[in-house]
Amino acid sequence: MTTTRLEAFSDGVLAIAITLLVIEIRPPELHQGETLAHALWAQWPSYVAYLVSFLTIGVIWLNHHRVFEQVIRVDGPLLLLNLNLLLWTGLIPFPTAVVAEHLGGAGEAAQTASALYCGVLLMGLSFGALFAWVTHTDRLLGRLPPPGMVRATRRRFMLGLVVYAAALALSWVSAPLALALCGAMALYYAFDQASVPAEREPDDQQPT
Amino acid sequence: MTTTRLEAFSDGVLAIAITLLVIEIRPPELHQGETLAHALWAQWPSYVAYLVSFLTIGVIWLNHHRVFEQVIRVDGPLLLLNLNLLLWTGLIPFPTAVVAEHLGGAGEAAQTASALYCGVLLMGLSFGALFAWVTHTDRLLGRLPPPGMVRATRRRFMLGLVVYAAALALSWVSAPLALALCGAMALYYAFDQASVPAEREPDDQQPT
Amino acid sequence: MTTTRLEAFSDGVLAIAITLLVIEIRPPELHQGETLAHALWAQWPSYVAYLVSFLTIGVIWLNHHRVFEQVIRVDGPLLLLNLNLLLWTGLIPFPTAVVAEHLGGAGEAAQTASALYCGVLLMGLSFGALFAWVTHTDRLLGRLPPPGMVRATRRRFMLGLVVYAAALALSWVSAPLALALCGAMALYYAFDQASVPAEREPDDQQPT
Amino acid sequence: MTTTRLEAFSDGVLAIAITLLVIEIRPPELHQGETLAHALWAQWPSYVAYLVSFLTIGVIWLNHHRVFEQVIRVDGPLLLLNLNLLLWTGLIPFPTAVVAEHLGGAGEAAQTASALYCGVLLMGLSFGALFAWVTHTDRLLGRLPPPGMVRATRRRFMLGLVVYAAALALSWVSAPLALALCGAMALYYAFDQASVPAEREPDDQQPT
C-alpha cells in the first residue's frame, strides 16, 4: 500500500465532504407575504453551520496532510484508523444540516442539535489516535519528528478533546454559544497550522 | 491506456460514492410534540446503513488498490470489467437510502429493502470477475503473484458470494439480521485486508 | 497550462458527474397498500436511465483519456472546447432525472423527456469539435496519429451525430425505443473503445 | 506543505462545486394540464444560472491553475487565503439555486436573489487578495513574473471588482440584466485566459 494512493483517496473524500456542505443550505421557502431578504436572514444558522464545518474539515485536511507527508509506510491499523477518521469526517454534513435546521429554535431541539454536532466533531478527533499510532515508533515514519514536537501536537489534540467536550456540555446551556466555541476552536487550529514554517520542497523547484 | 489514469478515475468514483452516502441521512422531521432526540434515535437504520455501506465501499477501494498496484497493462475487457464494478459500487447509495427508510418497519417493505441491499452488494463482487481476468495469465501483471495467494484471494471472493447470498435469503427471515451479516462481512474483509503485511515502497522513501 | 492538471480537473468532473447519477434514483414513495417490491419495479425508467447515462459518461471519459494522452500542449481554444464538453457532460444528470420521472408515462411528457435527453447527449458530441481541433495540425500533439486513424475516429463521431439525431426524432414515435438506441450507441462505443489494442506503457513497468 | 497536494485538494473542491451545480436543476413539477415542454421552458432561469455559474467556477479554476503553477512554496497566509477562496467558491451552488428559483419572478424576490448571487461572485474575487499576497515579493514564487504582467493581472481583478459591484447595484433595476452582466464578465475572463500563449511544457513531451 503506497501512501500516495491513500492520500489521494483521503483527499478526495475530504474535498467532497467539504463541498457537499453547501447542499445543506437550501433556498428558503417563502411564507405568505414574506420577503426573500427576510427569509434569507432567517436561515442564518445554515450559514454559521456551513462556516464552522468548512473550517473544521479544512483543518482536518491540513492535519492529515502534515501527518502523511512524513509517513513512508502504511500498515493495517493505520488503514483502519484512517478509514475511521474518514467515516466521521464524511458524516459532518449530517449534523451540520441538523444544526442548520434547529439552531434558530429554542429548547430541546436546539440543544440536541448542538450536542449532536459537537459530538461528531469530537469523533473527528479520532485523528489523535491515528497520530499516536503513527508516532509511536519510527516503523511508519522516515524519521521520527523531535519528541518535543510530538508532545506539543498530542497536547493540541488533548486541548481539542477538552474544548469539544466542553462545547458538548455547553449545548444544554446555550446552543449558539456551543457552536461559537466549535468555530473558535477551528479558527485557532487553522491559524496555528498556518503558522508552522513552510519548508522549501526540493522537488518543487523544477517545473511541474 | 495507462493504469495511472484508470486508477485515478476509479478512486474518484469510489471516493465520491463513499462520501455521497451521507446525503441519504436526512435531518428528521419532527411530529407534533416529538423531541429531536427521539426523532434522531428513531432513524437508527440510517446510521446502520451508512456504517455498513461505508465499510463495504472502503473495502472495495482497498481491494481495487491492491489489485491495480500490480497491473501494468490495461486491455479492453479489463476496462469494461472495471466500468461494470464502478456501475454497481456507484449504485450503493440508492439501496442504502431504501434500507434506511424501511429497515425500521416490518413485513414486506423491510424484507424487500434488505434483499435489494444484499443483492446490490452481491453485484459488488463482480470484482471477483475482474480479479479472475487479471490473474488468468501474466498478460496484464508485471509478475503473477504466487498461485497460492491467487487461490486464497479467489476463495475469499467465493466466501463473499456465499455470505451475501445467504444474507439475501436471510432478508425474508429478519432484515436487521441480514444487514448485520453484511456488516460483519465488511468488517471481516477490512481486518483481513489490514493484516496483509505492508511492503516498503522503494519510491516512498524519497521526499514527495 | 500543463495537460496533467487539465486532465485531472476533467477526470474529477467526469467522475463526479457519473457518480451523481445515483442521487436521481430516489427511494420510492409507497401509495396506500402498495408493496415496496411493486414500487421499486414501477420506477424501472430510473434504472434504465442510470445505466444508459453511466455508460455514456464512461465512454466520454474513455474518449477524453485517449485523446489527451497524445496532447502535449494546451492552447486557448482547446481550453474553451474542453470547458464546453464538461458543461454538457456535467448537465447529463438533469435530463437523466427528467427521463427517469416521465419515461414510464405516455404522450407528450415521455416524448419531451426523451427528446431532451437525446438532445443533451447529442451535445456531448461537441467532443467531436475538440477532436477536430486537436488533430487539425500537429501543433498540440507530440506526433499526429496516422491520417487513416484520424479519419476513422471522425467517421465514428459522425455516426454518433446521426444516431443521436435519429434517437431525438424517434422520441416522438416511441420514447423507450429512443432511449434504447442511445443505450445501444453507448454500448457500441464502449466495446469499440475496449477493442483498441493497449500499448505497453514504458513507465508502467517500474513499481508505482 | 507541497503545492502539489494543495493544488490537488483545490482542484477537487472546484471540480465538485462545478459539478454540483447540476443538482440545483430539478425536474419540473407539472401543474394540472401543463405540458412538460412548457414546464421545462418555464425554468429557464435554472439554465441561465447553471451556465453563468459554470463559466465562473471554470474561470476561477483557470486562474487558480495559472497562479499556482508558478508557486514553489506555500506559507501560512497563503493556506488561509486559499481556504477562504474555496469557502466562497464552494458556496456558489447556493445563490445559483436561489437565483434559479426567483429570477423568473418579479419585484423584491428577483432583486434580492440577484443581489445575493452577485455578492457571492464578488467574494470569489477574494482571489485577488491571494494573487496580491503571492506576487508581493518572490518569497513564494520561483521567479517573479514581469511587473507589467503583475500589474495587468491586478488591473483585471480591479475590473472584476467594479463590474460585479455594478451588477450587484443593477440587481435593483433589472435582475436578468445583472445576471447577464455576470455572465458577460465570466465569458470575457474565459476568452482572456484562453488567449494567454501556452508554453510548451518540458516534461510533457515524454510519454505519460
Residue pLDDT, tens place only, B115-140: 999 999 988 777 888 888 888 777 77
C131 touches chain B (CB under 8 A): no
Evaluate if residue A208 carries a pLDDT over 60.
Answer: no
DSSP type of residue C198:
P
| Chain C residues within 8 A of B73 when measuring between CB atoms | 198, 200-201, 204
Between CA D131 and CA D77 the distance in angstroms is 12
Q: What is the pLDDT of residue B202?
A: 43
D25 to chain A, closest Cα gap in Å? 13
Mean pLDDT of B89-95: 94
Give the residue from B35, B34, B31, B30 showing the smallest Cα distance to A108: B35
Residues 34-53 of C with CB under 8 A from D: none
Q: C30, B142: Cβ pair inside 8 Å?
A: no
C116 to chain D, closest Cα gap in Å? 9
Between CA B90 and CA C25 the distance in angstroms is 12
What's the one-letter identity of residue A205? Q
Q: What is the pLDDT of residue B1?
A: 57
Between CA C9 and CA D15 the distance in angstroms is 6
ipTM of the complex, rounded to two decimals: 0.86
Identity of the residue in B27, B58, B65 whose CB atom sits nearest the CB atom of A5: B65
Q: B97, C26: Cβ pair inside 8 Å?
A: yes
Q: Which residue has the cell 433556498?
A: A27
C-alpha cell at position D134: 503571492
State what percent of residues in chain C have pLDDT above 70.
Answer: 92
DSSP type of residue D199:
P
Evaluate if residue D132 carries a pLDDT over 80.
Answer: yes
Between CA A149 and CA A157 the distance in angstroms is 13
Q: Could you report the per-residue pLDDT of A21-67, keeping only the tens digit for each?
A: 998 888 898 888 889 999 999 889 999 999 999 999 998 988 888 88
Identity of the residue in D2, D4, D208 whose CB atom sits nearest the CB atom of B2: D208
Q: What is the pLDDT of residue A9?
A: 87
| Chain D residues within 8 A of C175 when measuring between CB atoms | none
Q: C69, B142: Cβ pair inside 8 Å?
A: no
For chain C, helix (H) and strand (E) counts, in that order, are 9, 0
Q: What is the b/e burial string over B187-200, where b = at least 16 CB atoms within 10 angstroms of the residue's CB?
A: bebbeebbeeebee
Residues B70/B150, Cβ–Cβ less than 8 Å: no
Between CA B164 and CA B147 the distance in angstroms is 26
Residues C54/C61, Cβ–Cβ less than 8 Å: no
Q: How is C13-29 classified by DSSP, letter by letter?
A: HHHHHHHHGGGGSPPPP
Identity of the residue in C27, C190, C205 whose CB atom sits nearest the CB atom of B142: C205
Evaluate if residue C51 carries a pLDDT over 90.
Answer: yes
Residues 46-105 of C with CB under 8 A from B: 50-51, 54-55, 58, 61-62, 65-66, 69
pTM: predicted TM-score of the whole model, two decimal places: 0.89
Chain D residue with minimum CA distance to C96: D27
Residues B110/B174, Cβ–Cβ less than 8 Å: no
**Chains near A, with 3+ CB pairs < 8 A?**
B, C, D
Identity of the residue in B5, B16, B112 whose CB atom sits nearest the CB atom of C19: B16
Q: Any bridge partners for residue B71, and if so which?
A: B141
Q: Could you report the per-residue pLDDT of C129-180, keeping only the tens digit for each?
A: 888 888 877 777 777 777 888 888 888 888 888 999 999 999 999 999 999 9
DSSP type of residue C141:
B
Chain D residue with minimum CA distance to A67: D1
Q: D25, C90: Cβ pair inside 8 Å?
A: no
Chain A residue with minimum CA distance to C208: A2
Q: D15, C17: Cβ pair inside 8 Å?
A: no
B5 to chain D, closest Cα gap in Å? 10
B82 to chain C, closest Cα gap in Å? 11
In angstroms, the first-to-last Cα distance of chain A is: 25
Q: D15, C2: Cβ pair inside 8 Å?
A: no
Q: What is the pLDDT of residue C124?
A: 75
Q: B76, C201: Cβ pair inside 8 Å?
A: no
In this structure, the number of other CB atoms found within 10 A of the CB of residue D44 comes to 13
Q: What is the pLDDT of residue C74?
A: 82
**Chains near D, with 3+ CB pairs < 8 A?**
A, B, C
| Chain D residues within 8 A of B23 when measuring between CB atoms | none
State the pLDDT confidence band at C19, using cuts at 50, 70 and 90. Answer: very high
State what percent of residues in chain A have pLDDT above 90.
Answer: 39
Q: B22, A91: Cβ pair inside 8 Å?
A: yes
Chain C residue with minimum CA distance to A4: C208
Q: A62, D74: Cβ pair inside 8 Å?
A: no
Q: A40, D87: Cβ pair inside 8 Å?
A: no
What's the one-letter identity of residue A43? Q
Between CA C114 and CA C102 the distance in angstroms is 9
Q: Could you report the per-residue pLDDT of B186-199, keeping only the tens digit for each?
A: 898 888 776 665 44
Between CA B43 and CA B26 the distance in angstroms is 9
C-alpha cell at position B63: 481491494
Residues 1-30 of B with CB under 8 A from D: 2, 4, 16
Q: Which residue has the higher pLDDT, A149 or D119?
A: D119
Q: What is the pLDDT of residue B2?
A: 67
| Chain D residues within 8 A of C98 when measuring between CB atoms | 27, 36, 40
State the pLDDT confidence band at C196, using cuts at 50, 70 and 90. Answer: low
State what percent of residues in chain B have pLDDT above 70.
Answer: 92
Burial class of residue D173 (count of CB atoms within 10 Å of its CB; 0-12, 13-18, 19+): exposed
Between CA D86 and CA C173 the distance in angstroms is 47
Evaluate if residue D167 carries a pLDDT over 50.
Answer: yes
In this structure, the number of other CB atoms found within 10 A of the CB of residue D17 comes to 25
Between CA D186 and CA D61 the distance in angstroms is 12
Q: Could you report the per-residue pLDDT of C77-125, keeping only the tens digit for each?
A: 888 889 999 999 999 999 999 999 888 877 889 999 999 999 999 887 7
C-alpha cell at position D40: 421545462
Between CA A181 and CA B159 the distance in angstroms is 49
Alpha-carbon radius of gyration of chain D: 19
C-alpha cell at position C27: 427511494
Half-sphere exposure of C143 (CA within 13 A, CB side): 6
Residue B75: strand, helix, or coil? coil
| Chain B residues within 8 A of A201 when measuring between CB atoms | 207
Residues C79/C1, Cβ–Cβ less than 8 Å: yes
Chain C residue with minimum CA distance to A3: C208
Q: What is the pLDDT of residue A133?
A: 84
Name the helix (H) or strand (E) containing B55: helix B44-68
**What angle is formed at CA B65 by the lines to CA B60 and CA B68, rounded to 5 degrees?**
120
Residue A141: strand, helix, or coil? strand
Q: Could you report the per-residue pLDDT of B29-45, keeping only the tens digit for each?
A: 888 888 999 999 988 99
Residues D109/A35, Cβ–Cβ less than 8 Å: yes
Residues D60/D89, Cβ–Cβ less than 8 Å: yes
Evaluate if residue C208 carries a pLDDT over 50.
Answer: no
State the pLDDT confidence band at C202, using cuts at 50, 70 and 90. Answer: very low
Q: Which residue has the higher pLDDT, D208 or D65?
A: D65
Q: What is the pLDDT of residue B205?
A: 40
| Chain A residues within 8 A of C4 when measuring between CB atoms | 208
Residue C22: strand, helix, or coil? helix
Sequence-ordered list of residues with C-beta below 8 angstroms from that of C129, at least 6 positions apart, any chain:
C81, C84
Between CA D65 and CA D201 the distance in angstroms is 14
Identity of the residue in A2, A4, A208 whose CB atom sits nearest the CB atom of C2: A208
Q: Which of D3, D10, D18 to mutate to test the interface with C (most CBs of C within 10 A)?
A: D18
Give the residue from D102, D118, D134, D104 showing the smallest Cα distance to D170: D118
| Chain A residues within 8 A of B27 when measuring between CB atoms | 94, 97-98, 101-102
Q: What is the pLDDT of residue A2?
A: 67
In this structure, the number of other CB atoms found within 10 A of the CB of residue D143 comes to 8
Between CA B71 and CA B1 the distance in angstroms is 12
C111 to chain B, closest Cα gap in Å? 27
Evaluate if residue A202 carries a pLDDT over 50.
Answer: no
